[in-house]
Amino acid sequence: MSIAENIAQIRARMCAAALAAGRRPEELLLCAASKMNDAERVKEAVAAGVDCCGENRVQELLQKLPLGAYTGRPVHFIGHLQTNKVNKVVGKVDLIQSVDRTELLEAVDRTARRLGLRQAILLEVNIGAEPQKGGFSPAETLELAAHMGDYPGVLLQGLMAIPPISEKRGDNCKYFAKMRNLYIDIADKKYDNVSMVCLSMGMSDDFEDAIAEGSTMVRLGTAIFGARHYGI
């Protein structure tokens, strides 16, 4: 199947999942997680109507950007971001979804202020409390959101999560539900410098569950582009 055919099927599944949950399909965004796919394939996804693209690695982002891979759509950074590469990303992407530690938040804020801009970000939450994974705990996320006024170089637009690898369908619903509660909690508080518009959760294997639990953006790689081939 072509990328465009995959996307058409995914849209239909997103729409069905939204309706089944009593939600409006128009409020769901599809982010193409385009790691290991070249600029031409990313362009195909853009032409087929994904809402945005997400890159994991700074090097891939900087390769594909000048080739016009994302032209016409916003591009997001969704991978682990090393502090010493922040200056290569801030101002070049529409949203950094993966702000996963205070040191990174401070570096993004500082860099954005130096450049005279405001960088939209999401906070990444380690919702499964997995020791090997980055991200804030829910308590840390709440606390940070309350202090976003201290970081005028950024604008907090929501939360992102990658739940634990699941054994079977439905296993991650409890994590998605926790994320939604946290997201709503923060939105209700109306903190300074916070505008909660994006709850980014759900990947190829579990996006329908994420939509059922309140996701506003799913990030799909395999379902759009097919399996990734590592090591070639």
Ligand X SMILES: *Cc1c(COP(=O)(O)O)cnc(C)c1O
Binding track over 3-42 against ligand X, x by CB under 6 A: ------------------------------x-x-------
Q: Which residue's Cβ has the minimum distance to ligand X?
A: 221
Nearer to ligand X, 35 or 118 (CB): 35
Q: Which stretch binds ligand X (CB under 6 A): 84-92, 143-151, 187-195, 200-208?
A: 200-208
**Does residue number 163 form part of the binding site for ligand X (CB under 6 A)?**
no
Amino acid at 198: C
How near is the Cβ of 203 to ligand X at its closest, in Å?
Answer: 4
Backbone angles phi, psi at 76, to 5 degrees: -115, 150
DSSP labels, 149-187: GG-TTEEEEEEEE-PPP-SSTTTTHHHHHHHHHHHHHHH
Of 137, 135, 29, the residue nearest 79 (C-alpha): 135
In the chain, which ranges are E strands?
A: 29-33, 52-55, 75-77, 95-99, 119-125, 154-161, 194-200, 217-220
Site for ligand X contains 142 (CB under 6 A): no
Among 63, 87, 166, 204, which residue sits at the site for ligand X (rule: CB under 6 A)? Answer: 204
Stretch that binds ligand X, among 2-10, 66-74, 113-121, 218-226 (CB under 6 A): 218-226
Find tokens 């994302």 and name the residue: 70
The footprint of ligand X (CB under 6 A) covers: 33, 35, 56, 78-79, 162, 203-205, 219-223
